[in-house]
Amino acid sequence: MVEPSDILRSVSQMRAPSVTLMMQYVAQKQGVSTGRQVREMFALRYGPGKLLPHEYYRLRVYRRDLSRSDKREFLGDRAAKALNYGLTAPELAGARYMVDQKPVFLALCAASNLACTETQAMYSPRQTVGSWAQLRSAAEIVAFLRHDARYPLYCKPTDSKQSIGGIEIERLDADGHLVFGEGLSGPHIEAFAAEILAKFPSGYLFQTCEAMAKDLRGLAPKGLGPMRLNSILTEQGAPLVFFGSFRMPVDGTESGPTKSKRRYFANLDLEKNEISIAMERTDGAHLIIEHQPVTGTKLPGFKVEQLPDAVALVKAAHMLMPELGIIGWDVALTDKGPLIIEGNGNPSCSHYQLVRGRGIMNAEHRPLFDAAKARADAISAAIKAGNDAWQLGAIRDIVALERGRFNS
């Protein structure tokens, strides 16, 4: 039985290996001297990518096949955040809140007839949003779980990342205890409700648990692995999806007590609608894999038939917040088609960099970022000048504004 205190782990159980151990590993297994590693870490930490030591190792930037210029194309989390934020005019940055607030954006998607995961109820001591049940107390959470919930449920905090605090509930037993996958018994719903209030007082969502589409279950046999898509605004103000990947559980669910201890990442070829390359992290090492470790499904070349529909869906969703230069998306591929799980105004580029083995600021992607940044800067200048022509969205008009061709 799972103890109540373990049901909503607030931190990941995975810990990055120490820098000292990684330095020894890279020197012994990869043939990169410790002196060279130290010099590179120092240079990259204070370079444009602002890589921290653990990012240098996690992204395998120590590799001997990478040139110095190749390594400067990698971004650490700090540099990636600065890049993402710079793609939106600072005067319009409030739109990022709308995307990052899960219940607000899901309600907006639902009201706009954009396919998204179904929310059955939300706990919040103050906020009211959406047409779902509004729960204000532990007693109301208990009543919902006992009488009104349609199982299975996927439950998660309104403001956390990386599946922290998420849990899949199959059903309740006759005594009111949670039952997870494979019949694993959990705490009573009263203990569960008390833990939600203690650990996630700002809010908690209760959603219908979606299953992976049947033709994709060879990728993740027991859980739903989200598809990650990143969309960026072009010079004309239209969204372009430029990166896609899967984060897949190998032999369990995505979160909760039955969470898989193994995961793999798979990059997507957006033109061919297929998996291009996959990687699993095992014992601190990153291994390119050809087959799903449990099902044996061949990964490179695996066709993802719903990918074009998913791309079209997130492009439409991006236009709900056309002020934002870049948005990351989690999408569920189900038998009903693709469903938006959530958006992220500060999307990570680590999946791309890890699996592709190249920095995100490469010759292919840098022009996209430069164009979006120029557009954001031009919009900001137009707003400061008091001219509303930027709302037309055409970059040529915005740039002309900067040159003084319009009267403010």
The whole-number mean pLDDT for each consecutive block of 10 residues of the chain, a chain of 408 residues, reads 57 61 90 95 96 93 95 97 96 90 94 96 94 96 97 91 82 94 89 94 95 95 92 91 93 82 92 95 78 96 98 96 94 97 93 91 96 92 80 48 38
pTM: 0.90
Q: pLDDT at position 235, please?
A: 82
Say if residue 17 is preceded by a cis peptide, omega within 30 of 0: no
Q: pLDDT at position 11, please?
A: 39
The Cα–Cα gap between 253 and 3 comes to 18
Nearby residues of 367 by Cβ (< 8 Å), 6 or more positions away: none
- According to DSSP, the residues that pair with 293 across neighbouring strands are none
End-to-end CA distance of the chain: 67
Nearest Cα neighbor of 318 from 355, 289, 345, 348 is 345
The Cα–Cα gap between 267 and 256 comes to 25
Distance, CA of 50 to chain centre: 21
Per-residue CA distances from 147 to 4, 125, 142, 178, 194 (Å):
21, 21, 8, 14, 18
> Are the C-beta atoms of residues 62 and 37 closer than 8 Å to each other?
yes
Q: pLDDT at position 396, please?
A: 44
Helix intervals (H) in 72-211: 77-86, 95-100, 102-111, 138-143, 189-199
Q: pLDDT at position 311, please?
A: 97
The Cα–Cα gap between 27 and 34 comes to 6
> Are the C-beta atoms of residues 204 and 196 closer than 8 Å to each other?
yes
Q: pLDDT at position 283, please?
A: 61
Nearby residues of 312 by Cβ (< 8 Å), 6 or more positions away: none
